[in-house]
Structure 1
Amino acid sequence: MKQNLFDTQALRPLAAVVDAGGFTAAAAGLCKTQAAVSAAIAGLERAAGCRLLQRSRQGCRPTPAGEMVVGYARRILSLLDEAAVALETAKPAGTLRLGVPDEGVAGLVASVVEGLARDCPQGLVDLRCDLSAGLEAALMAGELDAVVVVREPGSARGELVFRDRLVWCVPPGREPHLSRPLPVALFAEGCRTRPMVLAALASAGIAWREVCRASHIAGLTAMAGRGLAVTALARRTVPQGWRVLSSGEGGLPVLPDYEAALILPPRPTPLARRLAGLLLGPSRPERAAPPQDPFLR
């Protein structure tokens, strides 16, 4: 037999025709034209020097020679599919340029780095911390391979990683939330949770004054920790010893949820795809923040 008998471009259509019982159904299943499938089978039959399919009004069925070739074809195609899966799941090397807001380092990034270290021991995570808008701009400029950002209200951009609730919190033994105008410590302009907090205060008609602001959670809690102000954080990133205010305490409004999303470029790298697998899993349901999830702004 000629070597090109085992051209996989022809073997797959052959198996498909036998499975489907005809050229039309096989072509539809392969997303090819019927003419292309017919040409592939004709090439196989020329190489084999005999008929591989018996055509009739009832459809197509393999000849004895066809039965033999189809058996080998299935084994070859199975091995090729297995090789493709092995390559896809091979441990990729290289650098993952990952962008997250500052608060993501403590929880989300820690779990990601641990997962990548396990699955991709040759991979390197190059981390950039910034506001969400800055991270999205860097991704579009090709400076990052993947970003996790807080969505703007009403946006469906990216894939949902988790949803969490903002809460009011105060340092231990302090009650700044009882003062008016309300002293608040806020994240800097450009933070996507900042307008959520201010809108909630405006809707409740609460007068407020900004005592301090910071672009990083460590700076914000350090300043607010002097007892000068109340601040809003994700529930699971409230510093140890701080008190989360109960609903309506001090007349403060309930704060909204926010959504953290993963955004990849149109052609993600293997490490970026592995990151998506770690964060999103095989399915992509809406999910509440697990205990280790960080506050992302």
Structure 2
Amino acid sequence: MPMTASLPTGGALPLLDTDVLRTFVAIAENGSFTRAARQVFRTPSALSMQIKRLEETLGHPLFVREARQVRLTPEGEVLLGYGRRLLKLNEEAVARFLAPSLAGSVCLGTSDDVGTRILPGVLCQFARTHPAVQVDVVVGRSVELIRRLDEGELDLALVTAGNPGQEAWRGEVVHTEQLTWACREGGIAYQRSPLPLSLASHGCAWRDTALAALDRAGLPYRIAYSSEHCAGQEAAMLADLAVAPFPLSLVRPPLRRLGEEAGLPPLGDYQVSLIRRAGGGDASETLASHVMSAFGSLRH
């Protein structure tokens, strides 16, 4: 049913907020408030309030909410075209008048589980504000990233805290999250004995935490699959061949979190640290601030 909107006194048309337009475009392109919220680093409820105000301003519903997704109304499809053009024009105008104050290159190392969550948004924002800086990204195991940073190959490294050989004082904790047991929805791998595990390679804090917890609980297990990347762990879970210790935010359908019915010991929290190379320079420090801001947004 069409919404109603009236012009303010004097007939002046309202202005569209670029931040709200960015939210609208993100939802339209993702087909989901939840996925869009991760992209713009806000909560789904905050996005919902923005869209409600936008719909009230324009006097038309913009989305049709369905069970698992949202789709654009005809009016929403029209606004999407305008929104993309307005955002691009805004970026061009800002870039025209704000000469880049930073130049050079930064090399950032990250583990794959961290990179998939925050890097797209960080790199996009950093490229808009500092287009003259080249950012190189290296994905690898935390222990390997620390070695490469110490050898001067990396300027920054996002690593899982508590890895073997990593001094506790190194780096700044930027993220804390619950580590949980996960399996495929409807799967039976967790019912097998010994418990089949899908783990990261030796030297991973998740691996050490999970094995220590199972040993303390006296539960029999076998390491069925081992991978350097969390995508390998996930593949074994999706095939219902094993269970794995996983960050709670990465447990998404068709995976599920194992509850008390599995009888598995709690794993507690794990932390992500940001380590800087001494003398990395202004570009490195600026990128570090973007990374920290992105993780801070995840907590709100």
Q: Please tell me the TM-score bracket, short chain as reference.
A: 0.5 to 0.7
Aligned partner of 1:279: which letter? Answer: V
Q: Secondary structure at the match of 1:104?
A: helix
Gaps of 5+ in 2: 1-98
Q: For the structure 1 residues 183 and 107, does the alpha-carbon distance in structure 2 shift closer, same or farther, using more than 3 Å as the test?
A: same
- Cα offsets for 1:86-136 (capped at 9, x unmatched): xxx963122210000122221121222122112211222211111111111
The 5 Å alignment of 1:169-208 reads 169-208=182-221
Please give the TM-score of this superposition, normalised by the length of structure 2.
Answer: 0.62
Q: Which runs of 4+ in 1 moved over 6 A?
A: none
The 5 Å alignment of 1:256-267 reads 256-267=268-279
- Cα offsets for 1:251-296 (capped at 9, x unmatched): 1011121111111112122221012211335xxxx979548xxxxx
Return the alpha-carbon distance in structure 2 between the equivalents of residues 237 and 93 of structure 1: 35
Shift of 1:139: 0.6
The CA RMSD measured in Å over matched residues stands at 2.2
Identity, % of aligned positions: 31
Return the alpha-carbon distance in structure 2 between the equivalents of residues 249 and 100 of structure 1: 34
1:141 pairs with 2:151: yes
Return the alpha-carbon distance in structure 2 between the equivalents of residues 156 and 108 of structure 1: 24
State the match for 2:283 in structure 1. 271
Match of 1:110 among 117, 120, 124: 120
Shift of 1:233: 0.7
1:222 pairs with 2:235: yes
Q: For the structure 1 residues 255 and 287, does the alpha-carbon distance in structure 2 shift closer, same or farther, using more than 3 Å as the test?
A: farther
Shift of 1:203: 1.1
Return the alpha-carbon distance in structure 2 between the equivalents of residues 287 and 98 of structure 1: 19
Q: Secondary structure at the match of 1:107?
A: helix
- Cα offsets for 1:183-208 (capped at 9, x unmatched): 11111112121101111111111110
Shift of 1:159: 1.0
The 5 Å alignment of 1:46-195 reads 91-152=101-162, 155-195=168-208
Q: Secondary structure at the match of 2:205?
A: coil
Return the alpha-carbon distance in structure 1 between the equivalents of residues 145 and 168 of structure 2: 16
C-alpha contact (below 8 Å) 1:147/1:264 kept by paired residues: yes
C-alpha contact (below 8 Å) 1:186/1:212 kept by paired residues: yes
Please give the TM-score of this superposition, normalised by the length of structure 1.
Answer: 0.62
Shift of 1:249: 2.6
Return the alpha-carbon distance in structure 1 between the equivalents of residues 237 and 206 of structure 2: 17
| Count of aligned positions | 198
